[in-house]
Chain A
């Protein structure tokens, strides 16, 4: 894709690599590179979560015709920063009858899973921590580990509300994982690869949401529903249904550990949105319309990274819109929706898309 003319991050990345390799032994260079990546990721995650929380509160406020946070900073911009600092300074409370080891471990499992998923996401051309050949499968694999954090956290607190929340959440995530994977598979069948960079490259002449027509649309709708459920967000936020379960699986957590659950939740929201943007909307590729040279050219002026974050923001916006629009489901309705509707539709769609791919009925 050298001649595509998009801004390429790989020279910068390579430069850093080379300068590290020049001044340290290979082992140390690798270690430092990983450390750099880790620090960058943590900073990025913290920043994006702070922004997301702010946006969420503002969105909620606008839906409910109020202003939302306004006091700290201009338009309340610093409100979440202040909240974050407050959370950091709060006391760690571990109830006496809790299983302390698991109680402390659970937030780490869930955050680790979220960070591992972040590693495979292509932010822009060349800005990709690792581009393995099973990228998409890898993301679903590591995100499936996160549910353990919820289960363990809910149990270790030794609180029946949190236990019920954990069980609900576990059942929900395990079920909806199927749908999310199957709906992504629909595009994988079309693109013929699991590698994220290749999935993006296959959309050079049009995003799959347009090229894959009917089946891509079905897949995308299911992906959005299942993705919302997977991140435990409304209308599927039964795990932390305030009115019944106080705060669900993280009832017993306070301070920084509570913040970690929060962090993981918003990170997985971000991951889901970026997977959706990459798979269905061409990732960092600009919007092109057929042979409209001029239009395409103008679009090319917007840097890929802006495109990527723009698309991610769009999807996150839709998911937030869901949350403040639909009422919460009951647990049996939730499972019926998955096992009796989404899963059969998905399997049917998979057959349909295989047929389409075989006949070459996509653009």
Chain B
């Protein structure tokens, strides 16, 4: 086997190289060099992201355990862009004195979870998928508990790891049933044996619960609000954007390939979950005062919308899901980014605190406005098109009731997104948040997400480009 063949997995290899370089740097660098480590890590990751766009041959490795297609390459690039924005946004937070001597660990953990997601995407069998899932979950618990001085953060970490263990246990049971019934863990061999009998449906349901946890679909969403609230804001953003996006991609590809013969079973399941997820997410988001909890429930609702594209089962549906995730990456990172800047500078996290924000920080509040509009789906920003395409994909396959419920929920969601906007622009406050100056990297990150929100909405080529790589059931 020639070594050049391993270049197929260049994303994983270059990410591993970044991780190892950071590990060595951590050993030999002084504790006070926080800024340098952040810059180095960002630079390395930028390189890695650019490298991800260089086309390589597609194919399989390790007897089909690892597969690289144009689609997985695209998905990884979407995740890369998100992580790049995210780590630039975190730079302000990481440079704080409280994080002295713990900067490179942050990158080590976050990048190894990203590698886990890569393996989930590229997995050709359930073993790799499960390992990828664990790699994408366990280090996250430490990231959630990163603010060691806050009990809330520790509690969130404990909650996260316990529930993650539970859900991955159930998932593993599902995988073992699939293995027992089909005699193989390889996707290619499992596909042929999956049928509509009670046992394999049960196996699939168990299996999906693991992914449902990561995407925080409704019966598995209980951890979301508490963990997002306790976690450092940037980590919450990572959970809500990257982790969720990657798992959605995995759900999408698995349902379209391995479980495609069981469409009738998962159609019902997704239908119910979509309705529940959108509705419950919205209803709970209405009542939230804490910005991070608010965004948590909003992200639950958004995950529900994603299911609309998956349930359609078409090529068009797949494209819309990827497109929506891309848009969601930009908009949610924009919103979380502003929330993180505000929290790290002033310690304020409640929606009420944002009153009069426009007077003091006009630019940040405009970014927030744009992101929230995009999340709500107000034209002309990208979020509108994202939702529109999802609805169109579902309606095309005749899921009219589902689309109507989703539309009603979009209207409800307008109320709570606009509540924040109202607080920022219309309300007056006795003691508004002071003028915030953030560092260069953070500004660039915010600018990139704004540019993304606008660009993804204005240029239709993005959609066509994604459409090129996708396929239907």
Q: Do chains A and B touch in the complex (CB under 8 A)?
A: no
Interface residues of A (CB under 8 A from B): none
